[in-house]
Structure 1
Amino acid sequence: MRASEIMTSPAVATTPTTPLREAVAVLTEKGFAGLPVVDDEGRVLGTFTEFDALRGIRASGEGITVGELMSVPVEVITPSTEVTEIGRRMLADRLRCLPVVEEGFLVGVVSRRDLLRPLVRPDDAIAAQVHSLMSDYAGHRPKWTVEVDGGCVHVSGEFRDEAERRVLDALARTVPGVVAVVLADRNPAST
């Protein structure tokens, strides 16, 4: 799974000239841990977090702008960044959100909540989506049985070759909430 599949887009952002009070209002009203800080063209300059807001309030807060408080340098990711890499970076650097940029411009944000959301997706919803993808791939002919337990997808049936197995594995992994894929050959019953 990649950032593009879980990111919040369009991203709510702020600018360096935004007053502290206004930025704090966005953080608290929307329930965000942080906001990307962008220039007039949408390039990410930094992030403004709850911690930055608290520093500003402690320093009196009057007349202070986001640009004076924002965290720099800012870590960013791309839409193709793998979720495992996002999680690793968030844990290692204690980040609560990461701006997603494409060709230097903000296209979304991934928060810890975005990372967690697919993990709590019901197994039946995952199974239905995986089954639908595989049915489309097979031309709507029932070829495989799909079962999901704790986000682990078990696909059983007959596979033409290793290439088809790789395609089915890749298809299943595109579904939010999938944590593992197991493909098992189903042998035809003896007569």
Structure 2
Amino acid sequence: MTENDHKEISMRASEIMTSPAVATTPATSLREAVAVLTEKGFAGLPVVDHEGRVLGTFTEFDALRGIRAGGDGITVGALMSTPVEVISPSTDVTEIGRRMLADRLRCLPVVEEGVLVGVVSRRDLLRPLVRPDDSIAAQVHGLISDYAGYRPKWTVEVDGGYVHIAGEFRDEAERRVLDALARTVPGVVAVVLVTRNPAAT
């Protein structure tokens, strides 16, 4: 087992949670809560009292129930899901994943001494699995695929911010275009274009 493997296994909620958490209250209107969900791209919001204690969660499903019921005059308190599962900052990531899968949870509030300190979503849980190089490669591949009309002409590999684009190039002008496109992606250190002979593959 490598040192990095050990780090991933021992990762805790405090290392991946979104903090400070965006929360709502029981008195918040359905319309206002839905606006927060959609604008922030959240799957759910913790519902807290004036002291920051978690009372429930307000999810996309709860929002849809409210909209189906008419929406006007309905508050978060009438729709929120209770009881609510919470975790502590020291909860192991493996346990968080198990609970999310078992109970089909979209997010888990993180509570310390009874007060909300953060939220762990499925996205937070998955984020540590993606290296910065993976994100760069995906963005570069998307840009050059757009340029090529989504024809799979090139492969992209990234190592330490160094982008390697391999494939066939029509001419030097196309090479310059691909180089320029790749360099627009944040985190790119250098771009290397490798001409690949199709007969050799």
TM-score if structure 1 supplies the norm length?
A: 0.64
Aligned-residue offset at 1:123: 7.0
Highest relative contact order (Cα 8 Å, sep 6+), 1 or 2? Answer: 1
Tell me, what secondary structure is at the counterpart of 2:101? helix
Matched, 1:68 2:78: yes
Question: Radius of gyration: which is bigger?
Answer: 2
Matched, 1:104 2:114: yes
Moved over 3 A (4+): none
Measure, in 1, the Cα distance between the counterparts of 2:70 and 2:32: 15
Measure, in 2, the Cα distance between the counterparts of 1:57 and 1:96: 20
Residue by residue over 1:98-128, the C-alpha shift from the partner in whole angstroms, topping out at 9 and shown as x without a partner, is 000001000000000000000012479xxxx
Partner residue of 1:11? 21
Partner residue of 2:59? 49
Measure, in 1, the Cα distance between the counterparts of 2:16 and 2:46: 17
From 90, 101, 114, the counterpart of 1:80: 90
The size of the alignment, in residue pairs, is 125
Tell me, what secondary structure is at the counterpart of 1:37? strand
Measure, in 1, the Cα distance between the counterparts of 2:38 and 2:133: 33
Matched, 1:118 2:128: yes
Tell me, what secondary structure is at the counterpart of 1:84? helix
| Alignment RMSD (CA, Å) | 1.5
Tell me, what secondary structure is at the counterpart of 2:38? helix
Measure, in 2, the Cα distance between the counterparts of 1:82 and 1:123: 26
TM-score if structure 2 supplies the norm length?
A: 0.61
Gaps of 5+ in 2: 1-10, 135-201
Residue by residue over 1:131-152, the C-alpha shift from the partner in whole angstroms, topping out at 9 and shown as x without a partner, is xxxxxxxxxxxxxxxxxxxxxx
Measure, in 2, the Cα distance between the counterparts of 1:102 and 1:121: 29
Q: How much identity, in percent, do the aligned residues show?
A: 92
Gaps of 5+ in 1: 125-191
Partner residue of 1:140? none
Measure, in 2, the Cα distance between the counterparts of 1:10 and 1:118: 19
Partner residue of 1:20? 30
Amino acid at match of 2:126: L
